Chain A
Amino acid sequence: MNVTTTILEIRGLKARIAEDGTEILKGVDLTVNAGEVHAIMGPNGSGKSTLAHVLSGREGYEVTDGTVLYKGKDLLSMPPEMRAREGVFLSFQYPVEIPGVANTYFLRMALNAVRKHRGLPEVDAMDFLSLVEEKAALVEMEDALLSRNVNEGFSGGEKKRNEIFQMAVLDPTLAILDETDSGLDIDALRVVASGVNSLRSPERAMLLITHYQRLLNYITPDVIHVLSGGRIVRSGDKSLALLLEEKGYGWLEEEAAVGAGTAS
């Protein structure tokens, strides 16, 4: 069988900062199918995190144009928690600390919210425990981190690991990983990458936001996009990443400027 299911379909998406009206996304088009991993690269400030935030429903942005379909539904009309329950997971570039709330307690609430939405009963305590053990092993999370408060006092690398661990437990349909590789040492990078790889599945789609070719040595994306100036200016295969590593982003930005000039 060779039916492709589209998970995410972004058309002409424009978004600005609600506070000052600065336009950040200037017309993004992107289609991601089930089973695919897409990497999004691009210079600092080009709008990668903004795209992740708009897709996950963070406040503070205004969508001024375009549409986003997620499994055929209008994603932008859903509140953030609905998107999460529908299977959209964001691994944060800067994971947030929640003092006094145990990591596993938090995760169990999250899991139950998702399960409830899917019409499943609350997770049984024993089942949850074994699920946690299994997934923690996947990203080599230390037990101590599970019982500590959510991200409180975690090192940068531990926070990122925790994100992937949460993702593994919550089993999303669309995972958006915003610079999960930044701040990881070589060993941690390998562990996180293998965690991500093991979560690749024909039902799931992933968007990997990254700056480094390094991560792509471990996770081979199906497509690489370059986001620059709020637009996807180039898409290609793995070789594009190598090209970027060598030449930087400057040449693409110039091309894009020329392209934009001829189009208008």
Chain B
Amino acid sequence: MSSNEILSELTNQEYRHGFVTDVESEVFRPGLDEEIVAAISAKKKEPQWLLDWRLKAYRHWLGMTEPKWAKVSYPPIDYQAIRYYAAPKSTKDGPQSLADVDPELLRTYEKLGVPLEERAILAGVAVDAVFDSVSVATTFRESLAKVGVIFCSFSEAVHQHPDLVKKYLGSVVPYTDNFFATLNSAVFSDGSFCFVPKGVRCPMELSTYFRINQADTGQFERTLIVAEEGASVSYLEGCTAPKRDTNQLHAAVVELVALDDAKIKYSTVQNWYPGDKDGKGGIYNFVTKRGKCAGKRSKISWTQVETGSSITWKYPSCILLGDDSVGEFYSVALANNYQQADTGTKMIHIGKNTRSTIVSKGISAGHGQNTYRGGVSIAKSAIGARNYSQCDSLLLGDKCGAHTFPYLDVKTSTAQIEHEASTSKIGEDQLFYCRQRGLTNEDAVSLIVNGFARRVIRELPMEFAVEATKLLGVSLEGSVG
């Protein structure tokens, strides 16, 4: 598709993933207590140790309070009104192959642009699809298994690779970590698991598509990716949800572990339903993502394009433990209408000569509020550590806001820190220049915004860069002129 078609298509759309799929679902009663936690665990036929872990998390959570430090506001969440489990009925016993997946579900993913049939799939991308609380299909599993890569749903991993799960679950984000991560630890229902053994470069992009379908349900998925010595993997997640006028909670946890010389690239295109133009409805996206560069010379790179959700609260971070390890964070966050985004990263330098790069591009339009919150902490042990941060904000209109909170904590004098920041407005002169060359106002906005975000977009795997480019345009539809 040419850039022109992309741009003209995107400017004529509202939230295009807002349909509801009519599948028979099995849902739990609303509310949260030990019985529900145990029921989720039982549903998944989990071993005792995992149930115990969940219950510890649940009990810990009871004593916690919601964090209030982010620059977001929303009415109190009634955790007893949420359903913590919903699953399409037909996958009750787990689909054995794509043939067992409800055709309605397959059509859903097709509508989302995620064809699950292997022959039709984007060349070389393996997909795990999570629908409400369960994983419905994982493609390319066999060809991955040939090289030793495990890519499956979290629930399956619990049964088939219990030692790996037991070893790494909670090793980066402990169940006591924070209110939402702890809640997730108690009630997580599914997610993706990926293990790349020593010396293996994963031969294809791995990706997971998350979709919330059921009303009043929360989605609490958990992703765990482990790359052993010298292994490398690139993983992408995409997210959508139907339009509803109530808010829905999404509290996920992602843990990454990279051993010596391993590389993990984790990309997110987050397009949960953002609410309507008056701020009604939308997903509360309260997510904890953290990677541990446990090994020497390991590298973890986060790239995120956050266009959806009514509230985004997430800080994909890196613990740079191994000497010479590298952490990266590339982010585009867009807040239009009444969306609120409070996002950023934390780079924790512990090992010697560790390096981190932060590039954050915030776009605010309508009444949107966009906050960059980033921390760089350099321990005494992190001799020769370096960080480069760049935070740019782009404002469309004068009712939106951009805020930047960089935190810095440096305990060694050998560290090198560089920080750049800018705030700019889309200029009337830029728009006119584009229109004088024949572009519509909307195409012009989209072009300028994509130019602004390019440094980040180009970090995405090719196929998804196109999608992200479209999304930025769609999300800004009607925000200027």
Q: Does B127 contact A (CB under 8 A)?
A: no
The residue that A96 contacts in the complex, of B427, B452, B453, with Cβ under 8 A, is B427
Residues of chain A from 79 to 106 with CB closer than 8 A to chain B in the complex = 79-81, 83-85, 89-90, 92, 94-101, 105-106
CB of A149 closer than 8 Å to a CB of B:
yes
A166 interface residue (CB < 8 Å to B): yes
> Contacts A81-B438, A113-B438, A113-B439 given: A98-B3 contact, CB under 8 Å?
no
CB-defined contacts of A60 to chain B, threshold 8 Å: 428
Q: Judge whether B434 and A98 touch: CB under 8 Å.
A: yes
B451 at the binding interface (Cβ < 8 Å): yes
Q: Which residue of B lies closest to A60 (CB)?
A: B428
Minimal beta-carbon separation of A104 from chain B (angstroms): 11
Contact of A100 with B436 at beta-carbon distance under 8 Å, contacts A109-B7, A109-B443 already known: no
Q: How far is the CB of A195 from chain B (nearest CB, A)?
A: 18
CA distance A116 to B4 in the complex (A): 10
Whether B454 lies near A90 (C-beta < 8 A) is no
Also in contact, A98 and B438, with CB within 8 A (given A58-B432, A109-B7)? no
A122 sits at the interface (CB 8 A): yes
A59 interface residue per 8 A CB criterion? yes
- Please determine whether A122 and B450 come into contact, CB atoms closer than 8 angstroms: no
Number of A-B contacts (CB under 8 A): 88
In the bound complex, do residue B2 and residue A99 qualify as a contact, i.e. CB atoms below 8 Å apart? no
Nearest residue in A to B437 (C-beta to C-beta)? A110
Docked pose: A92 CA to B430 CA in angstroms: 12
Tell which of B428, B430, B440 touches A98, judged by Cβ atoms closer than 8 Å. Answer: B430
Q: Among B2, B433, B450, B455, which residue has the most Cβ atoms of chain A within 10 A?
A: B433
| B-side contacts of A146, CB under 8 Å | none
Rounded to whole angstroms, the CA-CA distance of A58 and B430 in the bound complex is 11
A166 touches B4 (CB 8 A): no
B447 at the interface (CB under 8 A from A): yes
Within 8 Å CB of A100, what residues of B?
450-455
Q: Contact size class for B?
A: 20 to 34
Q: What is the interface of chain B mostly: helix, strand, loop, or mixed?
A: helix
| Contact string against A for B residues 1-35, beta-carbon threshold 8 Å, 1 for contact and 0 otherwise | 01110010000000000000000000000000000
If A98-B447, A100-B452, A100-B455 touch, whether A170 touches B437 (CB-CB below 8 Å) is yes
Query: Would B433 and A96 count as touching, CB distance under 8 A?
Result: yes
Q: Tell me, yes or no, whether A114 is within 8 Å of chain B by CB.
A: yes
Q: CB-defined interface of B418-460 with A at 8 Å, one 1/0 digit per residue? A: 0000000001111011111111110100011011111100000
A98-B447, A98-B451 known; A112+B2 contact, CB < 8 A: yes
Q: Which residues of the partner chain A approach B432 to less than 8 Å between Cβ atoms? A: 58-59, 80, 96
Q: How far is the CA of A136 from the CA of B437 in the complex (A)?
A: 18
Q: A117: nearest residue on chain B (CB-CB)?
A: B438
Check A109–B454 contact: CB distance below 8 A.
Answer: no
- Nearest A residue to B2 via CB reads A122
Q: Which of A98, A105, A149 has the most CB of B within 10 A?
A: A98
Q: Which of B439, B443, B453, B455 has the most CB of A within 10 A?
A: B439
Can you name the residue of chain B whose Cβ is closest to the Cβ of A152? Answer: B451
With a cutoff of 8 Å between Cβ atoms, the chain A residues found around residue B4 in the complex are 108-109, 112-113, 116, 122
Contact yes or no, A80 B450, CB < 8 A: no
Which residues on A sit within 8 Å (CB–CB) of B448?
A: 98, 101
CB distance from A194 to the nearest CB of B (A): 23
When chains A and B are docked, how far (Å) is the Cα of A95 from the Cα of B447? 17
Q: List chain A residues, Cβ under 8 A from B429.
A: 94, 96
Q: Which of B434, B450, B453 gathers the greatest number of chain A CB atoms within 10 Å?
A: B434
Complex Cα gap A119–B179 (Å):
58
- Give the docked Cα–Cα distance between A101 and B3 (Å): 12
Contact A109–B436 (Cβ < 8 Å): no
Mask: chain B, 226-238; 1 = CB below 8 Å from A; 0 = not:
0000000000000
Interface-centre pick from A81, A90, A107, A114 (highest chain B CB count, 10 A): A81
A163 CA to B453 CA, complexed, in Å: 25
Question: Closest 3 CB pairs between A and B?
Answer: A100-B451, A113-B438, A101-B451
Would you give 19 A-B contacts (Cβ < 8 Å), ordered by A? A56-B436, A79-B435, A81-B436, A81-B439, A84-B436, A90-B436, A96-B430, A98-B447, A98-B451, A99-B452, A100-B452, A101-B451, A101-B454, A108-B4, A109-B439, A110-B437, A112-B2, A112-B4, A170-B438
Which positions in A face B, CB cutoff 8 Å? 56-60, 79-81, 83-85, 89-90, 92, 94-101, 105-110, 112-114, 116-117, 122, 149, 166, 170
Known: A81-B436, A98-B430. 18 other contacts (CB 8 A): A80-B435, A81-B435, A81-B438, A92-B436, A94-B429, A96-B427, A96-B429, A98-B448, A99-B452, A100-B450, A101-B447, A101-B451, A106-B434, A106-B447, A109-B439, A109-B443, A110-B439, A117-B438
